[in-house]
């Protein structure tokens, strides 16, 4: 029985259905992305909170992987509480900017290939594609803290050996998983071939590259 069939049979609310789709996108992404085709206002509105959670968690995972996070506790003004606040605020900013930026780039790439979908749907594809990156925060951060404690956020120390290399490789695996979901999402939502899907994503990548290039020159 598919996820969508189960949802219909239980006659659950749109809000609960979309919360159930958050873990479901990790194991059965096609049915989740297919559901994004629906334009019912209640159904569209029900996606906002699950997507917000994914964006915040993915943003936090991204900022904690930066060199800045690796040395935060070297600053005597930072403690565990301030570190948590920094992660929430910086992660929220990273996640939100990335969500809209990648969503706009995907909207641009899809339009180049003939899509008539709106910006909202494209960024929602991005939002659910972030699920593996969001999951990485819940999986890898506890492992880091268990292995290295506060040294996770200090320069040098035992967290800069082979174990850290393995954890970095795992982080990249989660990121690649998100990219894979993005490809699947674009193909399913638009009903395109693999070639057309990859061409649209290529257009999105060109726009992102141009934006990064402009900011690098400023």
Has residue 75 got a pLDDT over 60?
Answer: yes
Distance CA 98, CA 104 (A): 10
Whether 8 is in a domain gets the answer no
Residue 149 Ramachandran class (φ > 0 left, ψ -120 to 50 alpha, else beta): left
| DSSP designation for 40 | -
Whether 213 is in a domain gets the answer yes
Integer CA distances (angstroms), 86 to 52, 76, 190, in order: 18, 15, 38
pTM, entire model: 0.89
- Residue 78's pLDDT is 86
Whether 37 is in a domain gets the answer no
The residue among 214 and 192 whose pLDDT is bigger is 192
Q: What is the per-residue pLDDT across 115-165, written as a single tens digit (0 to 9) for each?
A: 988 999 999 999 999 999 999 999 999 998 888 887 888 877 665 667 778
Closest CA to 66 of 148, 153, 150: 153
Tokens of 5: 């069939």
Whether 14 is in a domain gets the answer no
Q: What is the per-residue pLDDT across 196-215, written as a single tens digit (0 to 9) for each?
A: 999 999 999 999 999 888 87
Whether 12 is in a domain gets the answer no
* Mean pLDDT of the residues in the chain: 89
Whether 65 is in a domain gets the answer yes
> What is the number of domains present in the chain?
1
Instruction: For residue 83, give its domain range.
Output: 48-217
Q: How confident is the model at residue 19 (pLDDT cuts 50, 70, 90)?
A: very high
Q: How confident is the model at residue 62 (pLDDT cuts 50, 70, 90)?
A: very high
């Amino acid at each position: 029985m598919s996820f969508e069939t189960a949802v219909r049979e239980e006659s659950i609310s749109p809000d609960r259905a979309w919360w159930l789709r958050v873990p479901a996108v990790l194991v059965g992404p096609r049915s989740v992305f297919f559901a994004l085709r629906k334009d019912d206002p209640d159904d569209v509105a029900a996606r906002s909170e699950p997507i917000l959670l994914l964006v915040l968690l993915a943003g936090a995972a991204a900022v904690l992987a930066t060199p800045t996070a690796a040395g935060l506790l070297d600053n005597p003004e930072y403690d565990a509480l301030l570190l948590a606040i920094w992660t929430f605020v910086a992660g929220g900013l990273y996640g939100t900017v990335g969500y809209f930026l990648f969503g706009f780039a995907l909207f641009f790439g899809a339009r180049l290939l003939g899509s008539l979908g709106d910006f909202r749907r494209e960024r929602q594809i991005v939002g659910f594609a972030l699920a593996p990156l969001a999951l990485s925060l819940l999986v890898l951060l506890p492992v880091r803290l268990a292995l290295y404690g506060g040294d996770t956020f200090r320069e040098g120390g035992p967290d800069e050996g082979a174990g850290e290399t393995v954890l970095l490789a795992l982080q990249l695996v989660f990121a690649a998983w998100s990219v894979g979901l993005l490809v699947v999402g674009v193909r399913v939502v638009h009903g395109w071939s693999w070639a057309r899907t990859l061409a649209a994503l290529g257009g999105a990548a060109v726009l992102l590259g141009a934006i990064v290039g402009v900011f690098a020159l400023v």
